Structure 1
Amino acid sequence: MSGKPDGDAPRVLTSRIVFYLPGFDPRDPETYWGLFRREARFTAARRGAAITVGDPVRSADGVELAWTADSRGVSTRYVLLRWEDIVRARFPQSDWTRLRGVPALLWRLWRTGYMASLRREGWRFSTVIFCVHYIYIALALLSLAAAAGLAALAPAAAQPWALVAVPPLAYAILAGLIRATRGKPLYVPHLVDDTAFTHSYAAGEAPEIDPRLDAFATRIHAAEGEADEVVVVGHSSSSFLGIEVLDRVLARDPGFGCRGTPVSFVSIGSVIPWLGLDPAARRFRDSLLRFGRATQIGWLDVRATWDWLSIHKNNPITACGLAPPDPARPSVRWVAIHELITSADVGRRQWNLFQMHFQLLMASQRDSGFDYLDVVTGPEPVHALVAGCREDGAPGL
């Protein structure tokens, strides 16, 4: 899966705590436990190593859902840090909120040069994101045209009233079209609302997230010394939220990660420039730069060129217009699609962008190569994996 770091071999690992931060996902956290348990069975079968997954337990304060995974002499406590309630408050937005918000946001992003910057940094990602917004605008115009066409069919005597009915009728047609495009392959409302959240957060207009990030930071800080290593995993939007959380931990305790318990951050399906390129995201860029200097916490960026819902061209610090304190940070693990699924599966799944985006969190269909379940439950320390990966590896295709 990776090389070992130079020098002495790491001490034998017997315990690990993994904090997993999901992306912009409204589903119950038990969904992730079910996914973890199912994929662990696949990994165990393909790698010839039993993985025992315990039942999930919600904390009394509702901040976490945790379970255990025992494999090959290592006991892993897997802690999902919850913010699906915040996602549910923002997805789905009302049709009226989208109708007002989408043109205003696109205008701001174009006027500030953000759209061009994102296109240069991640053309596939920007194509998906902005095309979805253009589809939304097209659906709104189609709804208006359809409503106007229906009004034109009304008898002449009813024409004045028919014209008055055009806006509410168009609104109703748009609501139906949005529900029809909520799922695959377009996911229009999900990606539109996710984008709205990201740029609201960039501008400091998502105050409800700050107390939750503080609670996450408290959990992670308290874990130091409780296991042989601490790992924080940020998937998708939590690639930038995870950095914010760890920056808060370090602000409270600059010595965190220096007292004998290795701490690693693993960003998967990263979209850091999605936030960091927004001119309004000054606070995040400050956090990103501070985290770039915090070498006591290892950082591994797991990248896949075939994941159109991630941004993976450059060092994420450089991609946000900053000078990286250490060009070799983060370490990078490129993952080729053939490490995970068969050619036949690629043909079936490649246009299901959300399924491909989650593929890095699933078991590999091979007995070697990258396997997320093997990384977070196996005997190789994650901090050794971080040290063993080098940014000059060839991109996975």
Structure 2
Amino acid sequence: MPGFDPRAPETYWGLFRRESRLTATRRAMAITVGDPDRSPDGLRLDWRVEADGAQTRYTLLRWDDIVAARFPRGNARRLLAVPALWWRLWRSGYLRRFRREARRFSRVIIGVHLIYLALVGLSVLGAIGLVGLLPLPAGHWTDLAVPVLAYAILAGLMGATRGKPFYVAHLVDDTAFTHDHAGGTDARMQARLDAFADLIRAADGRAGEIVVIGHSSSSFLGIEALDRVLTRDPEFGRRGTPVSFVSIGSVIPWITLDPRAVAVRAALARVAACDAIGWLDVRAKWDWLSIHRRNPLSASRVPAPAAHRPVEIQVRIEDLIEKRILKRRKWNLFRMHFQLLMSSRDPHAFDYVAFVAGPEPVHAAIRRWRDGAEHPRARVTAESAVP
């Protein structure tokens, strides 16, 4: 399950195929990635992977259409919604908790909104300056020209900062989606999660194992989808098909710290308490677009039902890419955010392709790390939750 990304799902297939070639070379593996196939209902993109004899059906659960409907939003909608959202978050005490649990990530999110505020201010000042230069008659024409010009200037500035290195529109709209979702107000997303739950549940008994992977915003959407499966089928994961959840680049506390996220916190608690579903949290301190100070349960004020819940591994950036490349990419935050979905430079480090498609089952790797047999290049940590 990808994050808040409007790109076509074939983009992820292309990324996986490209990185699988690197993994095959670096690890002396035989990896074949099949062609992608969109389902008739448009909910998924499937492809087959064969890696050293292991067969994997990789399914991308799609919500890029929902993202595309929300990003980019119109500037008029942002101008009304952003102040209302931040006023609510400040009054509820969310910002204080968010800054404590997500030090780097909160700086990015708050910083981007400050940039947005500065762009609005620059637009107004620029419009006032332009009106002063135009030969307009005094009175109502001047009053009307300022907001019209300011809106046009803002539209241009938002377009210019939509992509790297600022990603202003993306992160502002992503924040709006996250906090709308906390209140359960997006009916399309709720229906999509129901459909995802049906797809996940349908794989039970038909595969050697089921692995649900949530990257970025899908770290909490994946939890919600699995909770829906458990609600409909309490025996899910107990009939012989191992089930695992893998959160990568997790931002779970981003939503669970919102007082309105009652349903999301309840889903998190129920999935965490279900010992039939293994859970691995792949963490990276160098990823500014993830939350990694504490495990997602303790950060969300949800009691951990047992030690190593979730099992956590810390991945070093030096094991994934060379230092000379790191110097170029370090401040490309989105590129770094995707690094854990790519091949690793070190053949003994965590490698996404080898992890999800290699011969060792994912549930076996999680159990091995949980029991203390540490990954050669990943440190396993455990933490007790703080009520």
* Letter in structure 2 aligned against 1:231: V
**Aligned partners of 2:221 and 2:356: how far apart in 1?**
20
Tell me if structure 1 keeps the 8 A contact 2:210–2:242: yes
- Deviation of 1:50 (Å): 1.2
Correspondent of 1:56 among 30, 36, 40: 36
**Aligned partners of 2:289 and 2:106: how far apart in 1?**
9
* Letter in structure 1 aligned against 2:359: P
1:213 aligns with 2:193: yes
Aligned to 1:388: 368
**Aligned partners of 1:155 and 1:272: how far apart in 2?**
54
1:335-350 pair list within 5 angstroms: 335-350=315-330
* Letter in structure 1 aligned against 2:284: A
1:92-131 pair list within 5 angstroms: 92-131=72-111
Correspondent of 2:219 among 226, 239, 243: 239
Q: Deviations over 1:176-206 (max 9, x none)?
A: 0000001101000000000000000001211
- Deviation of 1:164 (Å): 1.9
- Deviation of 1:155 (Å): 4.1
* Letter in structure 1 aligned against 2:159: R
**Aligned partners of 1:230 and 1:357: how far apart in 2?**
25
- Deviation of 1:53 (Å): 0.5
Correspondent of 2:15 among 29, 35, 40: 35
- Find runs of 4+ consecutive structure 1 residues off by over 3 angstroms: 154-160, 390-395
Correspondent of 2:162 among 182, 189, 201: 182
Percent identical across equivalent pairs?
A: 61
Report the 3-state secondary structure (helix = DSSP H, G, I; strand = E; otherwise coil) of the residue aligned with 2:246: strand
1:297 aligns with 2:262: no
Residue segments in structure 2 that go unaligned for 5+ positions in a row? 382-387
* Letter in structure 2 aligned against 1:241: L
1:6-155 pair list within 5 angstroms: 21-155=1-135
Aligned to 2:207: 227
**Aligned partners of 1:172 and 1:157: how far apart in 2?**
21
Aligned to 1:194: 174
Tell me if structure 2 keeps the 8 A contact 1:43–1:374: yes
Report the 3-state secondary structure (helix = DSSP H, G, I; strand = E; otherwise coil) of the residue aligned with 1:389: helix
Q: Deviations over 1:238-268 (max 9, x none)?
A: 0000000000001111111111111100000
If the length of structure 2 is used for normalisation, what is the TM-score?
Answer: 0.95
If the length of structure 1 is used for normalisation, what is the TM-score?
Answer: 0.92
Tell me if structure 1 keeps the 8 A contact 2:311–2:380: no
- Deviation of 1:394 (Å): 6.6
* Letter in structure 2 aligned against 1:126: S
- Deviation of 1:158 (Å): 4.4
Aligned to 1:16: none
RMSD of aligned residue pairs (Cα, Å): 1.4
Q: Deviations over 1:272-308 (max 9, x none)?
A: 0000000000011111111110010000000000000
State how many pairs are aligned: 375
Aligned to 1:378: 358
* Letter in structure 2 aligned against 1:373: V
Tell me if structure 1 keeps the 8 A contact 2:136–2:142: no
1:308 aligns with 2:288: yes
Aligned to 1:287: 267
* Letter in structure 1 aligned against 2:184: G
* Bigger mean CA offset, 337-346 vs 151-160: 151-160
